[in-house]
Amino acid sequence: MDRLRVLGLAQGMNNTRKSIAVFGAGPGVGRAVARRYGQAGYDVVLVARRRGPLEEFAGELAAHGITAHVVTADLSETGLVPALAERIRAKVGDPAAFYYGPAPADPEFVDAVDLRPERLRELMPMTLYTLLALVNEFLPAMIERGDGAILNVQGASAVQGHPHMSGWPPALAAQRNYLQSLAAEVADQGVYVGTLYIGARIIGTAADATFEATEAAGQPVPDMPIADPIELAELLWTMHTDRKPREMAFPESVLGS
């Protein structure tokens, strides 16, 4: 494994084109990030569970002159990360950046009084453990180059707890704590770690479709701002290129609450 890591590092350093791996390349921000970075000249590795939608999206990117590779993976299976990393290296070397934004199949909120350890145990692998394993795989090459970025988009519930909105948010809060520590530790080694927190419903996502169906059925829905994933991807790109701030939110009031 050490030999493979060294080979991957060398391959990444010799690759003249920058690349980004997008973990969680479903509709919404993940795909918008892939488009934005592809437009900037990055090769893109699309990672998600289902090959069909990834192949279709890769074709759309290719039609616009963007080189896109498809890698299928279940990001809840942390133990498979070393093999996943080698599959990515085989296509682009060690990526210059990676975006991590997968969501569990069932992110439904529960009351805090009803939350059980078993539920958190189900959520932690995809939310934190796999992210940590991916950092272990790809951070060394970034530090060796003196340049890299680890990017993340998550819900505003990671920032502030609210009644009747437990379940996934405690796992996201753990993820936030880890990324804050990581950002401070690697900033002076040329690696940017940035997170964008969203307190809005994102156009084109499954959650947005559920919101609209609920509203159309005459059922009560929360008053939430609307976010365009293209604009969110642009915010993340600006954070990366400016190397600041380490955290941003949409709307801005999320981090001030």
Structural domain count, the chain: 1
Residue 235 has pLDDT above 70, yes or no: yes
Please check whether residue 110 lies inside any domain of the structure: yes
Residue 73 has pLDDT above 80, yes or no: yes
Q: How high is the mean pLDDT of the chain?
A: 89
Please check whether residue 255 lies inside any domain of the structure: no
What are 35-63's pLDDT values in tens digits?
Answer: 999 999 999 999 999 999 999 999 999 99
Residue 239 has pLDDT above 70, yes or no: yes
pLDDT value at residue 51: 96
More confident residue, 4 or 75: 75
Mean pLDDT for 52-78 is 97
More confident residue, 122 or 207: 122
The model's confidence at residue 16, banded by pLDDT at 50, 70 and 90, is low
Alpha-carbon radius of gyration of the chain: 18
Q: What percent of the chain has pLDDT over 90?
A: 69
Query: Distance between CA atoms of 153 and 205, rounded to whole angstroms?
Result: 14
Please check whether residue 254 lies inside any domain of the structure: no
Please check whether residue 229 lies inside any domain of the structure: yes
8 A C-beta contact, residue 230 and residue 32? yes
Give the CATH number, domain containing residue 200: 3.40.50.720
- Look at residue 54 and give its three-state secondary structure: helix
Taking the model in full, what pTM does it have? 0.88
Please check whether residue 93 lies inside any domain of the structure: yes
pLDDT value at residue 63: 98
Return left, alpha or beta for 188; rule: phi > 0 is left, psi -120 to 50 is alpha, else beta: alpha
Please check whether residue 148 lies inside any domain of the structure: yes
Domain containing 85 equals 2-249
Range of 7-21, 84-98, 190-204 with top mean pLDDT: 84-98
CB count within 10 Å of CB 192 equals 21
Please check whether residue 256 lies inside any domain of the structure: no
Please check whether residue 13 lies inside any domain of the structure: yes
